[in-house]
Amino acid sequence: MIKEQLIKDISFLKVKEKVLIFSALVVLAAYLPTVIHSQPVTGSLVNMSLILAVFLLGPLEAVLLALIPSFFALTSGLLPLPLLPMVPFIIIGNMILICVYHYLGRKNFFLAIAAASFCKFLFIYASLNLFVSFSPGGKQMVPLASMMSWTQFLTAVSGGILAYSVLLFVKKINNHPKR
């Protein structure tokens, strides 16, 4: 019910407004990891931008956006260098978040966020465990593994909640009487 109302409220967006929104989300996703060196904060905001991109722009645009944050997190030092081999798995995890949310989001926003967050976490955590098991230097990554475990789930859920808050704010502004 809320999602349908929000979709109706944002359906007025024109192509140039969508381009501006996409550009703002790209800047947010690329810039945040370089200035905020806190995974819970940066992860939540990046996940928020991915959910907003799915909702406001579509899944393809969100997938394009998902390619950006991991590389900036790595170059800024937020993601430790030993986790470099995890970058493709983080990107795929973000794409899983996008796809699951896109598919389930039509039914229930919060169920979609919970399921998408769990699927992302499960994929990244399983990938890390496989990498640690099969990589000669993988055991040295175990202390860094916390970044790839429940933190992924929590930042995805909090990003979904932030996205929902932003969408409610957009709805409120759109419904505010013009003076």
- Domain containing 167 equals 2-175
In angstroms, the CA 97 to CA 94 distance is 5
For the whole model, what pTM was predicted? Answer: 0.83
Token pair recorded at residue 104: 């389930």
pLDDT tens digits for range 120-138:
999 999 998 888 787 776 6
Share of the chain above pLDDT 70, in %: 78
| Number of domains comprising the chain | 1
Return the CATH number at 56.
1.10.1760
Token pair recorded at residue 93: 């995890």
DSSP-derived letter for residue 141 is: G
Q: Which range (1-5, 62-66, 118-122, 155-159) has the least confidence?
A: 1-5
CB 48 within 8 A of CB 159: yes
pLDDT: is 77 or 10 the higher one? 77
Q: Give SS3 for 57.
A: coil
Q: What is the structure's pLDDT at 79?
A: 74
pLDDT: is 63 or 106 the higher one? 63
Burial per residue of 112-151, b for 16 or more beta-carbon CB atoms within 10 angstroms, e otherwise: bbbbbbbbbbebbbebbeebbeeeeebeebeebbebbeeb
In angstroms, the CA 165 to CA 8 distance is 17
